Structure 1
């Protein structure tokens, strides 16, 4: 680090970064610093040294650790796909220099965690341009956050979810790649640890992502008020899955639009909560007031109860779909049907101006 840079460093960041051997480069315009992490150094140590508004810049290399963020306003930025965050190579193996004892993120089996509390959310964290892969739970896990932004991240081969958010609002997930994760590539939920009514996500955005080879491409579970738009979903067991139950408020009040959902024909066996899945484009279960429009949904083929292009399906605890609108979608080559309303007890659901070949019941296709 140059003498000029050292003179510019201020306050706690100077002393802490210097003690850790990190290169802290100040921004004259903002007063914030970039803490640069080189291969062999600890990302967590840089995060601990950073102040709100700082950027932790992680250079190309493989970093075998989990990273826990509990401060608002931080940016964690890699240099592209060659910045890789992965689990330790083996139990007891020596990893990056100065890595501390396993934090809550590592103990949970996650790669990067942004965690707040009910009384104090962690706000405006940004994660950019890196790969997070091979963790037993999630690549990125967020709980009690507001305004979390994840962009140009590759989340692959994680045991459960690629990128996941619960108990959080105003998330922004775009231009990411989620491939080969055990459950959903991108997962948005009210809570994974307790039952309850759907929560308002404050307009969370899942936009322009590429999601393939997962159990489910995008899952929205017991949530309301979000947008799933412009994503490419292929090679999953199901493209988009909206999960509701008997709790109030009901899941829904979301928009699923402009997505390309093609050949999600991977087979996933049944679980204790869900039947086998294969060849599902968009599935709504227990949803209300959801708009599904202007999607291209092709060649999703299977023989499970959830197979087909766009399906309304009564939830597995009996909650009905109500007041959903499915319109102006191009839905072709899906089997056993392009459109299927298998929740005939639900009310107020409409299918309008969809271009398709087959429907159950018959007569729902415009052409």
Structure 2
């Protein structure tokens, strides 16, 4: 019996030793990955939309258009057809890339720590602009631009991931007027407005990003159905913001989940452009809900924010709502479930400091509410230091009713449709083209009645009155006219037809 056991056990021991030696060797001396060369007809993993499927790789057919150091990314995009991938190898590319077609993957190749780098040299305004739908932008380093790192202009089904964005001016990642999007695994710093700014969008997930050293870390503005999850948000002036900005054509922000984020030490000096809305965000703010409705804040770690952990307020805190009576100014149905909050409010700043002083307190609270809005609740108010001004009323949340663990994503179960204008009159076509361009491009910097990055549309209407040609020419080749506003970048990538359509539309906007 012992001899039989030896014959059975000894081979197993030798096999185990062999496996261990092999694994140890591979750990110390891992094989170099083989270079993968894609050719026409090969498959390339990418993400497309549906029931969280923006995050689930599927296969797309198409040609691989390669770009190497010294080549032009824009020329490759012009060559690419829907379904193709533009694969960019390490190198420095000083250009603006504009994607005006659908179903394009812009994929960076990172080799031995070397990135494909878009460098604006503080001369160019934007790094990547896309107006097509079904766009993926993956694995680029973007730096030294004056305006935006990645900006979407009315494109649906977008995926923006794995990018390193440093000092790109006003915004880092800025999808505008798009439906069904995923922003994940990006690192952003040095942005003078919002590092990740989701503007007038629907059904967007923002997750697993690291944002630090910006004015605002993540801003959900005039957007519906958004999930902000598992982000590391630190050393910004304001961490995570759910906003309504008056004067935009989309008037609401609602159905926003902010969960499982690390929101810590957001005490950076606010270095936003003077006069802009975000310049009024108090330094030291962890999470700020400004007039947004149906916001759930759950399972976050919110610590070390000098002014306040969570602030809930109406539009009057930082803007003049009287200029846009169409925007309902109060935050309703805000739900605060279980969060870990400590060491907040040690050195309040700005208007929050004034409000705290009025309440005869020196230290800021974990949660502060300025008193407007209805239907709000907290799961366990005793867990937090609170300051409710003007009689803010909070009920007791039912955890089971409001828990979000059954919600995996805010993205759509199916791809959002790509709007195609056809079989309409020339007048209707121009009106639709003008509206989409106004929503997707112009409202990134201009509201109808409130100062944003640029002057209000009302002031532009007064200046140009009935001269759409003048606006169209200025869009193509702007010159600095007002000392108090930054110089507008040229929008000369827009066709002449588009510039005229949006100029006519801008002159007829009334709210």
The TM-score normalised by the length of structure 1 is 0.78
| Distance change in 2, residues 1:354/1:217 (3 Å) | farther
Unaligned runs of 5+ in 2: 1-36, 44-59, 322-328, 346-362, 397-511
Q: Check conservation: 1:331, 1:355, Cα contact below 8 A.
A: no
Equivalent residue for 1:84, pick from 117, 120, 137 = 117
Q: Which moved more, 1:170-179 or 1:262-271?
A: 262-271
- CA distance in 2 between partners of 1:186 and 1:207 (Å): 11
Q: Shift in Å at residue 86 of structure 1? A: 1.1
- CA distance in 1 between partners of 2:382 and 2:147 (Å): 39
| Distance change in 2, residues 1:88/1:217 (3 Å) | closer
Q: Shift in Å at residue 324 of structure 1? A: 0.9
1:35 aligns with 2:65: yes
Q: Check conservation: 1:330, 1:355, Cα contact below 8 A.
A: no
1:69 corresponds in structure 2 to 99
Equivalent residue for 1:282, pick from 276, 284, 287 = 287
Q: Check conservation: 1:268, 1:276, Cα contact below 8 A.
A: yes
Q: Check conservation: 1:320, 1:346, Cα contact below 8 A.
A: yes
Unaligned runs of 5+ in 1: 1-22, 91-105, 116-121, 191-200, 302-306
Q: Check conservation: 1:314, 1:342, Cα contact below 8 A.
A: no
Higher strand fraction (1 or 2): 1
Q: How does 1:142-291 map to 2 (within 5 A)?
A: 142-190=152-200, 201-244=201-244, 249-268=251-270, 271-272=274-275, 273=277, 274-275=279-280, 277-291=282-296
Equivalent residue for 1:334, pick from 336, 344, 364 = 344
Q: Secondary structure at the match of 2:203?
A: strand
2:349 corresponds in structure 1 to none
Q: Shift in Å at residue 345 of structure 1? A: 2.6
Q: Shift in Å at residue 28 of structure 1? A: 3.8
1:358 aligns with 2:385: yes
Higher helix fraction (1 or 2): 2
- CA distance in 2 between partners of 1:232 and 1:226 (Å): 17
Q: Shift in Å at residue 202 of structure 1? A: 3.3
Q: Shift in Å at residue 241 of structure 1? A: 1.1
CA offsets per residue over residues 81-114 of structure 1, 9 Å max, x none? 6110112587xxxxxxxxxxxxxxx6xx110010
CA offsets per residue over residues 269-323 of structure 1, 9 Å max, x none? 684335252111000011111111111100011xxxxx20011022133511111
| Distance change in 2, residues 1:346/1:339 (3 Å) | farther
2:90 corresponds in structure 1 to 60
Q: Give me the CA root mean square deviation.
A: 2.5
1:129 corresponds in structure 2 to 139
CA offsets per residue over residues 33-58 of structure 1, 9 Å max, x none? 11111100111111100111111111
Q: Shift in Å at residue 61 of structure 1? A: 0.7
Q: Higher relative contact order by CA 8 Å / sep ≥ 6: 1 or 2?
A: 2
Q: Shift in Å at residue 135 of structure 1? A: 0.6
- CA distance in 2 between partners of 1:141 and 1:246 (Å): 21
Q: Secondary structure at the match of 1:292?
A: strand
| Distance change in 2, residues 1:39/1:46 (3 Å) | same
- CA distance in 2 between partners of 1:249 and 1:213 (Å): 29
2:465 corresponds in structure 1 to none
| Distance change in 2, residues 1:333/1:355 (3 Å) | farther
| Distance change in 2, residues 1:356/1:214 (3 Å) | farther
Q: Which moved more, 1:53-62 or 1:330-339?
A: 330-339
1:112 aligns with 2:128: yes
Q: Check conservation: 1:286, 1:314, Cα contact below 8 A.
A: yes
| Distance change in 2, residues 1:338/1:331 (3 Å) | farther
Q: Shift in Å at residue 27 of structure 1? A: 2.9
Q: Shift in Å at residue 242 of structure 1? A: 1.4
Q: Shift in Å at residue 349 of structure 1? A: 1.3
2:34 corresponds in structure 1 to none
- CA distance in 2 between partners of 1:89 and 1:133 (Å): 9
Matched residue pairs, number? 306
| Distance change in 2, residues 1:37/1:72 (3 Å) | same
Q: Which runs of 4+ in 1 moved over 4 A?
A: 245-249, 354-357
Q: Secondary structure at the match of 1:48?
A: helix
Q: Check conservation: 2:202, 2:223, Cα contact below 8 A.
A: no
